[in-house]
């Protein structure tokens, strides 16, 4: 552990604010590993003064950065991607130490940062506008995209670095600076990544305050960030409850918010499904990251004709899940983030039974160091149960049956959240119906692929209480820019639009 921290420039006590220089005069945050409950290091968060200094420096950096040609901005991000590649082993280890996800998933998360940097480099030469035919002679209409400003990024513990990269890499090539508020549960990963970004900026002669960091709690950092008129866009990842508060505060100042919130993701298994494919997708979706992904599989909706067969295979698979130290490559499920997360799963397990459900497997606390380990839980439940309609952020999977395909789609859609969805079928009509306008109402809809594990090439996010935001690939870059429509008159006349005659 100490070797990993040292290689990443981290010490036993660290300043948690970066605005071109490292500082921190706020409360001390302890980073405790869920693996064994031991303290990794401490981070000094930001005070009100630190926060204001960070945003001011990010503003100054933006004013210089926006004038740099986009392909040149892309070169800085290319170098950032290379630096992340060089540090992948140490960063992956730190993600697992601080977050508890298995090392393979830690490596996958760091790879996401590398991949989004590659994506952003290409994007830096593709920030396209439009030319539009004018109704007036010798006139041209066009749309341009300009840098927006300082972008606030609030990230959650479950993806402590990838979500920052999704936003920061795209924002940077768009000409913006970022102010990052990471989760208080995973502060060290934010320090390690910001130190790498700082080094790259200094090597390329760029003001490193384009990647500003402020560790601290919601009152000290999160609330001011949401209310700050100097921050035109706030991208926030977290719970639906957090998203409601953030969006109301940002909307009150007529700012923009990009929200990626909770999911209640269902996977439909039809009679024609290949169960050899569906089974690993379900287990990884429900058990991966100890069920602490916003895209984790929460519900399996299976046709009644194959339910008994699938449930039997699920029970066998759940019994074989290796639970333990996430740094051991034989482990498939590590600890939850903290003891409170375990308690919330146990509470939901009790609620399922009270509402008339049945526990098929697991859901038991394990007596391991740190107290954050438990067995994954499989429960038979009704889709209309109150506990099912609310996301439990842990390894709790509800299974239920359907008779007719329209019923399955209706069940999939009958929850407040709308992030990820999946169907396993070999029926062409069912597959096409599922991804049509009358099918899944989620932002992600997959055929013969699970709910978890989105690629960075597609825009990521969901509908309804998931917040409606889109991050990462596709045209998500438009979030970080302002659109401007230009009218160019190269005639010698002054005609008005719509043929209006005035005077």
List the catalytic residues: 260, 294
Q: What is the 3-state secondary structure (H, E, C) of 156-181?
A: CCCCCCHHHHHHHHHHHHCCCEEEEE
| Token pair 């977290």 in the structure block, residue | 238
User: Distance of alpha carbon 352 from its chain centroid, rounded?
Assistant: 28
Maximum pairwise Cα distance, the chain: 86
| Cβ neighbourhood burial of 39 (10 Å; 0-12, 13-18, 19+) | exposed
Distances (CA, A) of 230 to 52, 177, 226, 250, 480: 10, 12, 10, 11, 14
Give the ranges where 288-338 is alpha helix by DSSP (H): 307-319
CA distance 472 to 153: 13
Alpha-carbon torsion 73, 77, 80, 85, what sign? Answer: negative
| Strand ranges in 365-450 using DSSP code E only, listed in sequence order | 377-380, 396-402, 417-418, 420-424, 444-447
Tell me the β-bridge partners of 479: none
The Cα–Cα gap between 16 and 8 comes to: 14
């Amino acid at each position: 552990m100490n070797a990993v921290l040292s290689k990443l420039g981290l010490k036993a006590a660290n300043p948690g604010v970066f605005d071109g220089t490292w500082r921190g005069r706020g409360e001390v945050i302890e980073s405790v590993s869920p693996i064994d409950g031991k303290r990794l290091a401490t981070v000094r968060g930001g005070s009100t003064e630190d926060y204001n200094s960070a945003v001011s420096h990010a503003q100054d950096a933006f004013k210089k950065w926006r004038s740099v040609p986009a392909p040149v901005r892309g070169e800085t991000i290319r170098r950032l991607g290379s630096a992340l590649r060089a540090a992948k082993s140490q960063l992956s280890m730190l993600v697992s130490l601080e977050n508890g996800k298995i090392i393979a998933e830690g490596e996958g998360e760091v790879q996401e940062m590398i991949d989004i940097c590659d994506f952003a480099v290409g994007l830096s030469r593709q920030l396209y506008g439009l030319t539009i035919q004018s109704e007036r002679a010798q006139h041209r209409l066009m749309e341009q995209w300009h840098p927006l400003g300082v972008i606030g990024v609030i990230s959650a513990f479950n993806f402590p670095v990838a979500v920052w990269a999704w936003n920061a890499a795209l924002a940077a090539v768009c000409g913006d600076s970022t102010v990052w508020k990471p989760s208080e549960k995973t502060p060290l990963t934010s320090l390690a990544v910001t130190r790498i970004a700082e080094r790259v900026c200094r090597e390329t002669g760029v003001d490193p305050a384009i990647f500003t960091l402020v560790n601290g709690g919601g009152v000290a950092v999160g609330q001011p960030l949401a209310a700050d008129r100097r921050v035109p866009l706030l991208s926030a990842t977290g719970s639906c409850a957090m998203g409601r508060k953030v969006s109301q505060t940002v909307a009150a100042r007529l700012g923009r918010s990009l929200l990626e919130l909770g999911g209640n993701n269902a996977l439909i298994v039809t009679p024609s499904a290949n169960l050899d494919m569906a089974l690993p997708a379900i287990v990884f979706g429900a058990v991966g990251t100890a069920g602490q992904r916003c895209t984790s599989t929460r519900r399996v909706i299976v046709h009644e004709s194959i339910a008994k067969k699938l449930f039997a295979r699920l029970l066998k698979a759940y019994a074989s899940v290796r639970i333990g130290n996430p740094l051991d490559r034989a482990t498939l499920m590590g600890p939850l983030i903290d003891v409170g997360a375990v308690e919330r799963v146990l509470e939901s397990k009790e609620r399922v039974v009270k509402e008339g459900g049945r526990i098929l497997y697991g859901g038991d606390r394990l007596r391991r160091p740190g107290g954050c380990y438990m067995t994954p839980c499989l429960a038979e439940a009704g889709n209309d149960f109150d506990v099912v309609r609310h996301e439990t952020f842990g390894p709790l999977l509800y299974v239920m049956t359907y008779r007719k395909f329209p019923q399955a789609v209706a069940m999939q859609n009958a929850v407040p959240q709308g992030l990820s969805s999946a169907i396993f079928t070999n029926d062409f009509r069912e597959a096409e119906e599922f991804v049509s306008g009358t099918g899944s109402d989620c932002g992600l809809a997959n055929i013969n692929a699970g709910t978890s594990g989105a690629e960075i090439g597609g825009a990521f996010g969901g509908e309804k209480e998931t917040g409606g935001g889109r991050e990462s690939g596709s045209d998500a870059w438009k979030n970080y820019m302002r659109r401007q429509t230009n009218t160019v008159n190269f005639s010698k006349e002054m005609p008005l639009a719509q043929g209006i005659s005035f005077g």
